[in-house]
């Protein structure tokens, strides 16, 4: 039996996989909440965090529970996209084939997220699937941009 060497790459791989699983549990856990519990959490987040932070920028009257819910969708999937694409980067798999798998995964998680809400009495929205995917894609874009910048910097140092 061959033992796993705990290289830096393997450690980061394990950390990112654990973070992805935790993020999926958070995303789907929120989807399984009933309408009243979900609304209470959104209201608490609205009053205690989002309005104080974003109210001065956008006007407190413009920061609504609807805004908090949409921001939550985007933020959860931004985290998931960041974790997935950092995993590709750590594993040195920034290739079209693996990126396509990641994007499909992000979209399917969003679709599953909205499907779960059908069973809680909250309803489902195709627009939320696209918002989820947008958060995922923005994070992916940032990782890919960082990868490109690193390559350009390395190329300039070598030449």
Q: What mean pLDDT do residues 3-11 have?
A: 82
Q: Is the pLDDT reported for residue 1 higher than 60?
A: no
Per residue in 75-90, pLDDT (tens digit) is 999 999 999 999 999 9
Per residue in 41-76, pLDDT (tens digit) is 888 888 888 889 888 888 888 888 888 889 889 999
Report the distance separating Cα 69 and Cα 113, nearest Å. Answer: 13
Q: Is the pLDDT reported for residue 25 higher than 90?
A: yes
Helices 126-158 and 96-117 sit at what angle, rounded to 10 degrees? 160
Place of tokens 């059908």: 118
- Report which of 73, 47, 51 is spatially closest to residue 62, judged by C-alpha positions: 51
Q: Is the pLDDT reported for residue 2 higher than 90?
A: no
Burial class (CB in 10 A: 0-12, 13-18, 19+), 87: buried
Tell me the whole-structure pTM to 2 decimals: 0.86
**Which residues, 6+ apart, have CB-to-CB distance to 159 below 8 Å?**
none
- Of the two residues 1 and 136, the one the predictor is more confident about is 136
Helices 126-158 and 65-90 sit at what angle, rounded to 10 degrees? 40
pLDDT category at 125 given cuts 50, 70, 90 is: confident
Q: Is the pLDDT reported for residue 15 higher than 60?
A: yes
Helices 35-45 and 65-90 sit at what angle, rounded to 10 degrees? 90
Task: Answer left, alpha or beta for residue 92, where phi above 0 means left and psi between -120 and 50 means alpha.
Answer: left
């Amino acid at each position: 039996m061959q033992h796993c060497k705990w290289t830096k790459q393997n450690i980061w791989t394990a950390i990112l996989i654990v973070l992805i699983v935790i993020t999926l549990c958070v995303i789907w856990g929120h989807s399984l909440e009933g309408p009243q519990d979900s609304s209470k959490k959104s209201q608490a987040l609205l009053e205690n965090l989002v309005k104080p932070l974003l109210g001065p920028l956008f006007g407190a009257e413009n920061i609504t529970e609807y805004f908090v819910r949409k921001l939550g969708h985007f933020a959860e999937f931004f985290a998931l996209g960041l974790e997935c694409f950092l995993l590709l980067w750590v594993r040195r798999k920034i290739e079209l084939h693996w990126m396509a798998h990641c994007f499909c995964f992000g979209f399917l998680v969003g679709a599953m997220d909205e499907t779960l809400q059908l069973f809680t009495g909250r309803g489902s929205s195709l627009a939320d699937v696209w918002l989820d995917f947008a958060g995922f894609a923005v994070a992916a874009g940032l990782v890919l941009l960082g990868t490109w910048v690193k390559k350009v910097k390395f190329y300039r140092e070598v030449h």
